[in-house]
A and B are shown apart, each in its own frame.
Chain A
Amino acid sequence: MDLHLDHISHNYDGTAVLSDIHLDIPKGQIVCIIGPSGCGKSTLLRFIGGLEKPTEGQVLQVGNPPEDSLNPLTYIFQDFALLPWRTVSGNVSLVLEDHGIKGNAADAIIKDVLARTKLSDFADALPKQLSGGMKQRVAIARALAVRPACLLMDEPLSALDSQTRELLMDDLVDLWVRENYTAVYVTHNLNEAVRLGHKVVVLSRRPGKIREIVEIDIPLQDRQAHEHLLSEKQAHLWELMREEAMAADQELAHV
């Protein structure tokens, strides 16, 4: 299943937030969206998953999601969005219960996704006992449990410290190498974008327009070996963003 963003524009209380976003998200690729703060990148992600409606344009699913996918468009949130009153396995089972998956069938899925995110020993822990990185791994496990066709990640590493971020980035790369998932990855961190993105979409400041789409054709698993090429890409992205970020910083908030 591919996704196609068809000329999306959005106004919020008369302020243009996004303007004419036209973009393809092909199967098996990670598309990173970067842009200065307030450019509407998170809003765009909410459109893609159907949590909000754009004023103009639409998001199209091209082709059917795989039969076994319980929730084709699945989010991973910046603040993890775990239920604090449920254990790790309870949080995963939450998203299975509504599909009628209970008992042994649920246990098997939970066991599998916790193993894949290296959380097997923490199945009975409460979120308050976990570190930020582990919480986000629980959120990733929960997302994997519904076998998504496309993962929608909203700054998933922004709430973590830089060491944890490195580790989790490696996890995401490993996971992609194994499973070739499709993802839209919103971030303001250029390093994450060049490490994870097959395609990096640079948005301008508000109203967000696509400034440039940078393709990075080094395989994800080889990227750390090409430090030099990556930092070139990153520098290029920064050149694109610098002015936008500066201008965005000077703007008054319209709240």
Chain B
Amino acid sequence: MSDNSLTRSETTATQPVPYRGGGFSPKRARWVAPVVFVILITIWEGGARLGWISPIILPAPSEALNALIDLYNSGDLIRHLSASLQRLVGGWFFGTLLGVAFGVAAGLFTLARAGIVPLVAAIFPIPKIALLPLFIIWFGIGEESKIATILFGTFFPTVIAVYGGVDNVDRGLIRMGQSFNLSWWSIVRKIILPGALPAMLSGFRISASIAIILLVAAEMIGAEYGIGAYILLAGNLMAMDQLVAGVTILSLMGLTVSWIIGRLEKILLRWRV
């Protein structure tokens, strides 16, 4: 090292070290979503009013809103919605209940796992709507077949999520429970189930979306009332405004479910880092 190395000579270029970090961490920006939404609706409404978008292809948002208001005033909205929600809640609830029971069993017991997992793998990929005709033969054209479709559709993803969640519970915690002589039931109730809860809740998110999809499909095949039936009828009559109104209701249903599960996660998983 010569003395020169300590002083900046004119021939040596001096510059700050280039910054290479940053990025890869999207932040929350609450205002973006409403702005995007408003812009899209405005373009859509404007396009329809200026005649760029034919009302036969896509009705203006205002017309869809009118259709929604008409539906509400006629009293049919409540009828459709309550029919749909009953099916949705009933099918989802019992499908989830059974799914959690079978999933926990598959997570805990060798025999149950060996029996359930291959069966789930074989039946899960079948689109449950393909089984609806079968369910109609079994349970009739009434509510039962629709609920059975939703139940069946939510059961399998729940089993998969729950037994994956049970599998992923920290073995160290279970070993700790054993080392303090906790009973088997205490270990399941106080360590395994709470530990599997995050996976269960994300499973519920998926099964709830599947339930909505199956609800509409089942209602399209045979129902007097229900959002699916309303949309199907609107389509048959080429009433595009009613169709968009119906689809909007579905979207709102999905958002509501996702919001409820989000709240549940916030409350129940406060302990998560």
Q: Are B191 and A75 in contact (CB under 8 A)?
A: no
In the complex, whether B186 has a CB less than 8 A from a CB of chain A is yes
Q: Are B176 and A81 in contact (CB under 8 A)?
A: yes
Bound complex: CA of A98 vs CA of B176, how far in Å?
14
Interface of A is mostly: loop
Q: Are A98 and B183 in contact (CB under 8 A)?
A: yes
Bound complex: CA of A75 vs CA of B270, how far in Å?
28
Bound complex: CA of A74 vs CA of B271, how far in Å?
26
Q: Are B186 and A98 in contact (CB under 8 A)?
A: yes
In the complex, whether B173 has a CB less than 8 A from a CB of chain A is yes
Bound complex: CA of A49 vs CA of B176, how far in Å?
11
Bound complex: CA of A208 vs CA of B115, how far in Å?
41
Known contacts: A83-B190, A85-B194. The answer to whether A75 contacts B272 by CB under 8 A is no
Closest B-chain residue to A139, C-beta based? B176
Q: Are B271 and A94 in contact (CB under 8 A)?
A: no
In the complex, whether B180 has a CB less than 8 A from a CB of chain A is yes
Known contacts: A77-B172, A146-B180. The answer to whether A128 contacts B273 by CB under 8 A is yes
In the complex, whether A51 has a CB less than 8 A from a CB of chain B is yes
In the complex, whether B236 has a CB less than 8 A from a CB of chain A is no
**B179 is contacted by which of A74, A79, A85, A126 (Cβ under 8 Å)?**
A74
> What total of chain B residues lie within 8 Å of the partner, measured CB to CB?
19
Q: Are A84 and B271 in contact (CB under 8 A)?
A: yes
In the complex, whether A95 has a CB less than 8 A from a CB of chain B is yes
Q: Which residues of A contact B191 (CB under 8 A)?
A: 83
In the complex, whether B175 has a CB less than 8 A from a CB of chain A is yes
What distance in Å separates the Cβ of A148 from its nearest Cβ neighbour in chain B? 10
Q: Are B172 and A79 in contact (CB under 8 A)?
A: yes
What distance in Å separates the Cβ of B180 from its nearest Cβ neighbour in chain A? 4
**CB within 8 Å of B: which A54-72 residues:** 71
Q: Are B273 and A74 in contact (CB under 8 A)?
A: no
Bound complex: CA of A83 vs CA of B193, how far in Å?
12
Q: Are A49 and B179 in contact (CB under 8 A)?
A: yes
In the complex, whether A97 has a CB less than 8 A from a CB of chain B is yes
**B181 is contacted by which of A77, A84, A98 (Cβ under 8 Å)?**
A98
Known contacts: A85-B194, A94-B190, A98-B183. The answer to whether A126 contacts B176 by CB under 8 A is no
In the complex, whether B82 has a CB less than 8 A from a CB of chain A is no
Q: Which residues of B contact A85 (CB under 8 A)?
A: 194, 271
Bound complex: CA of A85 vs CA of B179, how far in Å?
19
In the complex, whether B178 has a CB less than 8 A from a CB of chain A is yes
**CB within 8 Å of B: which A166-182 residues:** none
Q: Are A128 and B176 in contact (CB under 8 A)?
A: no
Q: Which residues of A contact B173 (CB under 8 A)?
A: 81, 83
Between B176, B183, B190, the greatest number of chain A beta carbons within 10 A of the residue's beta carbon is seen for B176
**CB within 8 Å of B: which A26-84 residues:** 49, 51, 71, 73-75, 77, 79, 81, 83-84
Known contacts: A71-B180, A74-B180, A98-B182. The answer to whether A81 contacts B272 by CB under 8 A is no
**CB within 8 Å of A: which B174-213 residues:** 175-176, 178-183, 186, 190-191, 194
Bound complex: CA of A71 vs CA of B180, how far in Å?
6
Bound complex: CA of A126 vs CA of B270, how far in Å?
9
Q: Are B271 and A128 in contact (CB under 8 A)?
A: yes
Q: Which residues of B contact A97 (CB under 8 A)?
A: 186, 190
**CB within 8 Å of B: which A84-100 residues:** 84-86, 94-95, 97-98
Between B170, B179, B186, B270, the greatest number of chain A beta carbons within 10 A of the residue's beta carbon is seen for B179
Closest A-chain residue to B270, C-beta based? A126
Bound complex: CA of A77 vs CA of B180, how far in Å?
12
Q: Which residues of A contact B178 (CB under 8 A)?
A: 51
Closest B-chain residue to A84, C-beta based? B271
**CB within 8 Å of A: which B225-273 residues:** 270-273
Q: Are A75 and B186 in contact (CB under 8 A)?
A: no
Closest A-chain residue to B181, C-beta based? A71
What distance in Å separates the Cβ of A82 from its nearest Cβ neighbour in chain B? 8
Closest A-chain residue to B269, C-beta based? A85
Q: Are A75 and B271 in contact (CB under 8 A)?
A: no
Closest A-chain residue to B273, C-beta based? A128
Q: Which residues of B contact A75 (CB under 8 A)?
A: 176, 179
**CB within 8 Å of B: which A102-129 residues:** 126-128
Q: Which residues of B contact A84 (CB under 8 A)?
A: 271-273
Bound complex: CA of A74 vs CA of B177, how far in Å?
11
Bound complex: CA of A63 vs CA of B116, how far in Å?
47
Closest B-chain residue to A75, C-beta based? B179
Closest A-chain residue to B177, C-beta based? A94
Smallest CB-CB A-B distances: 6 pairs: A81-B176, A85-B271, A95-B180, A75-B179, A128-B273, A84-B271
List 10 contacting pairs A-B, 8 Å CB cutoff, sorted by A: A51-B179, A71-B179, A71-B181, A74-B179, A77-B175, A81-B172, A97-B190, A98-B186, A128-B272, A128-B273
